[in-house]
Amino acid sequence: MSSDAWSILDRVLDLVVSHNRWRGVESVNLIASENKMSPLATLVYITDMMHRYAEGKPYKRYYQGLVYVDEIEVLASRLMGELLDTEFVDVRPVSGTIANASVFRSYAKIGDKALVIPVQAGAHVSHTRYGTLGGLGIEQVEMPFDYEEFNVDVDKAVKMVEEVKPSIVVLGGSVYLFPHPVKELAEAAHSVGAVLMYDAAHVLGLITGRVWENPLKQGADLLTSSTHKTFPGPQGGIVAATSKQLLKPVSKTVFPVFVSNHHLHRLPALAVTAIEMKLYGHDYAEAITRNAKALAEALAEQGFKVLAEHKGYTRSHQVLVDVKELGGGGKAAVLLEKANIILNKNMLPWDRPEDIKNPSGLRIGVQEVTRIGMGPDEMKEIAAYMRRVLIDGEDPAKVASEVAEFRRQFTEIKYCIPLSEARRRLGDLAKYPPIKEILDLVH
């Protein structure tokens, strides 16, 4: 190995260490689409399954050597089904976007229409002409949105369903503060022969934690999701349905259309996270929504323009702030990053398409800071740091050192099986690489 290769290796390792230090212990992460797995879920994520390959469904594979993987996949599906009150779950999509694509292709063909939330009002890019929907040749039609209610305009949307007669109606998304009107839109969709798909990627942990309504119980036919936002599992996706008949065409589309091997190391980590959500999910979900409201209130007290005050700000993990008068979301997000506060710029319902590079808003999520033990008092501190950077105009570098010191107080992941209990239960698994090497390092 040449000296140049060694130096590149050193750089790779240095970058990983620098990232882990910055994002893991020195910065406050408020990205609404991220979270941390528990120590036990992380350990089983890095088992030998990461090296293996599977195609097809459990017990009907195109590869050998999967007798234990098959059982893990069945368990993971069953556990997710128990959390969602359905027997019909496919855990093979490798992302929420792949889950969405599998439903879109199963229930619409080229030239069909899909009724979706406007992009500025929270639709995920996969719901749009710019993403998966457009890539599949399905026409995006935007539903009317009520800016006062920060939600779909139900009456106008029902009329649009009746007029447009889409193949799919899509609710859920990447930005929303309040539950979408599933029951009313599902009834309208079914009246014209459409299915209603609910993208629960952002709120799966709130649904399984029983603080948000379960769309499948309100009339949604299919629920898609990623598994790593308010639901603190491995990166991946799922599709759940209310019947075997609804899920069957989707499962036939997941493989072989969009997924070959479905990244098997996700499965035990997903199963462990599902068990942890059974044990601790309600308390975690309640803490998330409590912190979101506390942060919104604290930001308003600090002088920020927080959206939906008249509605109580939020019922989800998200808070939306209009920073147009402070230079826009693009500028604000960069300044906060320099202060070790990580979040993202975001379009607000009234922004124009050309505003996408510097939209009016900031999207803030509290699920990860809740996961590491922060509460309402810490939300006040975060709001004060943000004011100092964006309103008072303090040097972000000065604030960054204080934020890092603040963040170092929170290093233990909560709402999960304690590591001491996890070690006891690992048993023989702890004798095999790579878990043995990791536990040896920890000891």
Whether 102 and 129 have beta carbons less than 8 Å apart is answered as: no
Number of H helices, E strands in the chain: 17, 17
Q: How confident is the model at residue 442 (pLDDT cuts 50, 70, 90)?
A: low
Asked if residue 389 and residue 342 are part of one domain, the reply reads yes
pLDDT at 443 over 80: no
Which tens digit of pLDDT belongs to each residue from 294-324? 999 999 999 999 999 999 999 999 999 999 9
Q: Are strands 168-172 and 113-116 parallel, antiparallel or unpaired?
A: parallel
Asked if residue 224 and residue 370 are part of one domain, the reply reads no
287: tokens are 């803490």
Burial of residue 67 (number of CB atoms within 10 Å: 0-12, 13-18, 19+): exposed
Q: What is the mean pLDDT of the chain?
A: 95
Whether 30 and 403 have beta carbons less than 8 Å apart is answered as: no
For residue 108, tell me if it sits in a domain.
yes
Whether 223 and 88 have beta carbons less than 8 Å apart is answered as: no
Classify 258 in phi/psi space as left (phi over 0), alpha (psi -120 to 50) or beta.
alpha
Q: Under DSSP, is residue 49 helix (H, G, I), strand (E, B) or coil?
A: helix
Q: What secondary structure does DSSP assign to 383-439, as a single string?
A: HHHHHHHHTS---HHHHHHHHHHHHTT--S--SS--HHHHHHHHGGGGGSTTHHHHH
Asked if residue 94 and residue 187 are part of one domain, the reply reads yes
Structural domain range at position 199: 42-276
Asked if residue 342 and residue 294 are part of one domain, the reply reads yes
Which tens digit of pLDDT belongs to each residue from 161-187? 999 999 999 999 999 999 999 999 999
For residue 97, tell me if it sits in a domain.
yes
Asked if residue 327 and residue 297 are part of one domain, the reply reads yes
- pTM for the whole structure: 0.96
For residue 441, tell me if it sits in a domain.
no
Neighbours of 397 (CB within 10 A): 10
pLDDT at 237 over 80: yes
pLDDT at position 360, please?
95
Q: What secondary structure does DSSP assign to 259-308, as a single string?
A: -SS--TTHHHHHHHHHHHHHHHHHHHHHHHHHHHHHHHHHHHHTT-EETT
In the chain, what percentage of residues exceed pLDDT 70? 99
* Residue 293's CATH number: 3.90.1150.10
Lowest mean pLDDT among 52-61, 82-91, 214-223, 432-441: 432-441
Report, as an integer, the average pLDDT of 78-107: 98
* Residue 133's CATH number: 3.40.640.10
Residues 298, 302, 308: CA angle, nearest 5 degrees? 60
pLDDT at 204 over 60: yes
pLDDT at position 1, please?
58
Dist CA 298 CA 383 (whole Å): 6
